[in-house]
Amino acid sequence: MNEGAVLIFARRPELGQVKTRLATCVGQNSALAVYRAFLMDTLLSARQSGATVLLAHTPGGHFPEQELADITYEQRGSSFGERFDAAFADAKGRLPDGTPLVLIGADTPHLSPKSLRQALDHLRDFKAVIGPSSNGGFYLLGFSTTPVPISEAFSHSSDRETTEVVRLLIRSGVKPKLLNLWFDVDLPEDLAKLVAFLDLLETVTGEWVPRHTRDLLIEIRNRLPAVHNELGIQDRTRRILMES
């Protein structure tokens, strides 16, 4: 039996609806391809962690990446915060009572199965875990008991999200375990950082590498000089990707 559950909170992969900030430097088609690679590797990492895999996605028709999840369902709610809290509640309703559950997005394809397993293992001793991102947000949130609603945290600036979530948890009597600082990929600069990080992973024997993301970023990096004018890639972003 799978131990614990990982919930991926994600958008359906649709042109012009995902990675819009990356699209300004690599174009909408490449941004969609990057997102699909991210989502694929995120789902595969969750599967390899030994957990039950759930995917809560924005409404719409079937898409191939759903096949990698054990359970899929549509997000509900009008605001991001409402959809976030509802995704947690709906996941708990689909799992056996007492199942530890962590939620991640599709912005950290480099988060390894080992890291996910460690987060789930911490829930044996803690009621909640949270993984802070370098931008002030968080890349992972998990509960061993009934999830605490945190939609209020998203009404604050993004650089205070983790602080506000922790405040809400403690106010509810839930002191979380703080995980290692990590980074997610939203901006062109983040993409360059990810390329450099994956280059390092390639040199370390036994480390999990998100292959779909790695292969696609190599392809994009190799194509950048040829498509620079066509896509209007910003000079600074092109430079840092080429130098990574």
pLDDT, tens digit, 9 for 90 and up, residues 11-51: 999 999 999 888 887 889 989 999 999 999 999 999 999 99
Separation of alpha carbons 179 and 91, rounded Å: 22
**Which tens digits make up the pLDDT trace of 63-89?**
999 999 999 999 999 999 999 999 999
- To 10 degrees, what angle do helices 188-202 and 235-243 make? 10
Domain boundaries in the chain? 5-178, 188-243
CATH code of domain 5-178: 3.90.550.10
Residue 234 · residue 26 · CB < 8 Å: no
Q: What is the pLDDT of residue 226?
A: 42
228, 49, 77, 47: which is closest to 154 by C-alpha? 77
> Left (φ > 0), alpha (ψ -120 to 50) or beta: where does 185 sit?
beta
User: Model's pTM, two decimal places?
Assistant: 0.89
Residue 221 pLDDT more than 80?
Answer: no
